[in-house]
Amino acid sequence: MDLLNVCIIGSGNWATTIARNVGINVVNSQFMENKVNMYVYEEIIDGRKLTDIINTTHINVKYMPDYVLPSNVVAYDDVVTTARDADIIVFAIPPTFVSSCCKTLLGKIKPMAHAVSLIKGFERNDDGQILLISHLIMRQLKIPCSVLVGCNLAHEIAHNNFAEGTIGCRDQKYLRILSDLFKSETFRVVVTDDADCVEICATLRNIIAFGAGLADGLDFNENTKAGIIRRGFLETLQFVDVFYPGSRLATFFESCGISDLVTSCYANRNRRLAEAFVKTGRPLSELEHVLIPGHEPLGPVTSELINLMLKKKGLEEKFPLFTAIYRICTGAYPLSRLVETLRFAREDM
């Protein structure tokens, strides 16, 4: 049997974190090639190319300066070179770059390759249709795309703190392979075939975390925040039911569901952004860049895309929390509508 080759497209902190797990795991596997290519967006740092720095020092000085990569992870500045021999292509780039990256790769990768997206969010394709990132990859590259989610806090995994991830796998024969590829002693991975639900949970929680941050900014209490988490969870269930029917309720109890939602609402950058939005009164467009250099927080963007999907089906009123958060972002609603929404939301959705 031919050994499977794995590459990673991306070099942010989540890409780098997972590259270490992958680099270690392929060496310990009898089914995998040892070398792991990693596509790095080239930058010059202190007069040196970032790819050179990574390939000599094994440290991604840009995103994870305290973290040593295994030497079998090799950086490339060209995405086609990185991916052309890969059987498993792991995508970990910002959502807005996915479409152009796929266009570059189309026809230049193995036709039987399997993609894995670590990217949260929805994107519009060229027709203006709103798609989950894994669906965008599948349509553009014509290969199946699984997802790995569950890392709010890349640095926690990087520092070998306990964390859980969920893989939504789109090909039965990769169930075990993907689990073995990403896990570590401290990063517990559970695989399910309910891939859409896994990805939607990971995406919608950024809206809910933004809502939790609004509550924090308004100095609301723990019960209010819990109300937002609960309502957001219910609207996520309902959203999946409307737009991606056939998902299983059990998936919401995996780490991609309840755990990531809770973590996001207490410790994620969307939460911080929303808190700053309330406390400073400055527009989101200014704050997004102030708060998270190089990382776009996805809450407001996602809430806009979700709102387009809901509006098209005449469902805005059936998703009062998502709608209120979107309208607060645009300024159409005052902040006070957040609690009003919780008070008057109907239970029987």
Tell me the DSSP string of 2-37. PPEEEEEE--SHHHHHHHHHHHHHHHT-SSEEEEEE
- Applying CB under 8 A, among 3, 44, 106, 267 the residue interacting with a second copy is 267
Within 8 A by CB and 6+ apart from 48, the residues are: none
Within 8 A by CB and 6+ apart from 304, the residues are: 326, 329, 330
- Applying CB under 8 A, among 104, 129, 161, 280 the residue interacting with a second copy is 161
- If the CB atoms of residues 254 and 275 are measured against a second copy, the closer one turns out to be 254
Residue 333 engages a second copy in binding (rule: CB under 8 A)? no
Contact, 82 vs 76, CB < 8 A? yes
- If the CB atoms of residues 156 and 304 are measured against a second copy, the closer one turns out to be 156
- Segment holding 331, helix H or strand E: none
- Applying CB under 8 A, among 227, 297, 300, 320 the residue interacting with a second copy is 227
* Window contacting a second copy (CB under 8 A); options: 71-79, 128-136, 198-206, 263-271: 263-271
- Applying CB under 8 A, among 185, 245, 317, 331 the residue interacting with a second copy is 185
Beta strands in 44-200, from DSSP E residues, in sequence order = 44-45, 48-49, 59-60, 64-68, 73-76, 88-91, 114-117, 122-124, 130-132, 145-149, 163-168, 187-192
- If the CB atoms of residues 226 and 309 are measured against a second copy, the closer one turns out to be 226
Residue 339 engages a second copy in binding (rule: CB under 8 A)? yes
Q: Tell me whether residue 120 is annotated as binding.
A: yes
Return the residues of window 194-223 that contact a second copy according to CB under 8 A. Answer: 220-223
Its sign, for the CA torsion 12, 71, 7, 170, is: negative
Return the residues of window 235-254 that contact a second copy according to CB under 8 A. Answer: 237, 249, 253-254
Q: Tell me whether residue 269 is annotated as binding.
A: yes
Return the residues of window 95-124 that contact a second copy according to CB under 8 A. Answer: none
Q: Tell me whether residue 311 is annotated as binding.
A: no
Number of residues that bind a second copy (CB under 8 A): 41
Token pair in block for residue 93: 């780039």
Residue 149 engages a second copy in binding (rule: CB under 8 A)? no
- If the CB atoms of residues 68 and 250 are measured against a second copy, the closer one turns out to be 250
Exposure on the CB side of residue 122, measured as CA atoms within 13 A: 24
- Applying CB under 8 A, among 260, 299, 320, 328 the residue interacting with a second copy is 260
Which amino acid, residue 51? T
Distance, in Å, from the CA atom of 192 to the CA atom of 141, rounded to the nearest integer, reads 23
Q: How far is CA 106 from the centre of its chain?
A: 22
Its sign, for the CA torsion 276, 277, 281, 286, is: positive
Minimum Å gap between C-beta 205 and a second copy is 11
Question: How do beta strands 88-91 and 4-9 pair?
Answer: parallel
Contact, 209 vs 265, CB < 8 A? yes
- If the CB atoms of residues 20 and 58 are measured against a second copy, the closer one turns out to be 20
Minimum Å gap between C-beta 47 and a second copy is 36
- If the CB atoms of residues 46 and 222 are measured against a second copy, the closer one turns out to be 222
- Applying CB under 8 A, among 51, 206, 259, 303 the residue interacting with a second copy is 259
Q: Tell me whether residue 152 is annotated as binding.
A: no
Beta strands in the chain, from DSSP E residues, in sequence order = 4-9, 32-39, 44-45, 48-49, 59-60, 64-68, 73-76, 88-91, 114-117, 122-124, 130-132, 145-149, 163-168, 187-192
Q: Which residues are annotated as a binding site?
A: 97, 120, 154, 269-270
Q: Which residues are annotated as a binding site for NAD(+)?
A: 97, 154, 269
Binding interface with a second copy (CB under 8 A): 152-153, 156-157, 161-164, 185-186, 188, 190, 220-227, 229-230, 233-234, 237, 249, 253-255, 258-260, 262-263, 265-267, 339, 342-343, 347
Q: Which residues are annotated as a binding site for substrate?
A: 120, 269-270
